[in-house]
């Protein structure tokens, strides 16, 4: 029975392959589409989608905003989410990921990293650095500055151990 059914279906399957490549079923922009609840082919991007190229985003990247409590709170939170697992809550580079064998990040308390420009830290988040990969798709520019501000807090609040590279 099953085999007979499969044989009957075969011509149908082959017919489906015989499509005219120029005329393929697809939706055009602004076309009605029953597939979606709002009946439109064009769907808004899902919530939380990060746009990589808008002027607003470029403006946010241009300069560090004024430092206030809200910026530091945001920076502390975002640092905790995206950086602390490697760089450690205190910035000394002893997060859980390097404790499992990933290369150790340098301590933010090292004299060289205390001395680098804010822009350098921003750029490391954007582009990555050495074995550290880019966070550009997860951390939008405004949050990058907030994280930079928080790293400055970690640096000012703590003495180094003296053996930082
Ligand atoms: C998966 C682990 C990991 C995560 C997560 C991570 N980093 Fe790193 N980071 C590293 C490592 C490892 C290095 C050293 C890279 C090298 O020298 O090859 C580094 C280096 C750096 C440096 C030093 C660059 C220099 O000039 O030496 C900065 C600044 C930095 N990271 C900032 C951040 C910030 C901010 C975040 C969060 C947005 C972050 N990192 C997330 C692993 C990580």
Task: Examine residue 16 and state whether it is found in any structural domain, yes or no.
Answer: no
- Nearest residue (CA) to ligand 1, atom 16: 130
Structural domain span for residue 109: 55-157
Task: Examine residue 106 and state whether it is found in any structural domain, yes or no.
Answer: yes
CATH number at residue 63: 1.10.760.10
Note the pLDDT tens digit of each residue in 10-51. Answer: 555 555 555 677 888 889 999 999 999 999 999 998 888 877
Question: How many domains are contained in the chain?
Answer: 1
Task: Examine residue 91 and state whether it is found in any structural domain, yes or no.
Answer: yes
Task: Examine residue 62 and state whether it is found in any structural domain, yes or no.
Answer: yes
* Global pTM value: 0.76
Residue carrying structure tokens 């076309």: 31
Ligand 1 midpoint to CA 153 (Å): 17
Note the pLDDT tens digit of each residue in 61-104. Answer: 889 999 999 999 999 999 999 999 999 999 999 999 999 999 99
Task: Examine residue 101 and state whether it is found in any structural domain, yes or no.
Answer: yes
Q: Helices H, strands E: what count in the chain?
A: 8, 0
Give CA separation, 24 vs 8, 10, 13, 28, 42, in Å.
25, 22, 17, 11, 18
Does the beta carbon of 129 sit less than 6 angstroms from any atom of ligand 1?
Answer: yes
Task: Examine residue 146 and state whether it is found in any structural domain, yes or no.
Answer: yes
Does the beta carbon of 78 sit less than 6 angstroms from any atom of ligand 1?
Answer: no
Task: Examine residue 111 and state whether it is found in any structural domain, yes or no.
Answer: yes
């Amino acid at each position: 029975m099953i085999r007979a059914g499969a044989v009957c279906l075969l011509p149908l399957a082959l017919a489906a392959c015989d499509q005219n490549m120029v005329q393929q079923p697809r939706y055009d922009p602004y076309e009605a589409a029953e597939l979606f609840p709002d009946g439109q082919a064009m769907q808004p991007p899902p919530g939380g989608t990060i746009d990589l190229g808008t002027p607003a985003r470029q403006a946010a990247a241009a300069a560090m905003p004024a430092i206030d409590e809200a910026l530091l709170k945001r920076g502390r939170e975002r640092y905790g989410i995206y950086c602390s697992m490697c760089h450690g809550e205190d910035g000394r580079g002893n997060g859980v990921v390097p404790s499992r064998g990933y290369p150790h990040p340098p301590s933010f308390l090292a004299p060289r990293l205390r001395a680098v420009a804010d822009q350098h830290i921003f750029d490391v988040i954007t582009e990555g650095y050495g074995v550290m990969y880019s966070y550009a798709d997860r951390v939008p520019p405004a949050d990058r500055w907030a994280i930079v501000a928080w790293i400055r807090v970690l640096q000012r609040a703590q003495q180094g151990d003296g053996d930082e590279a």
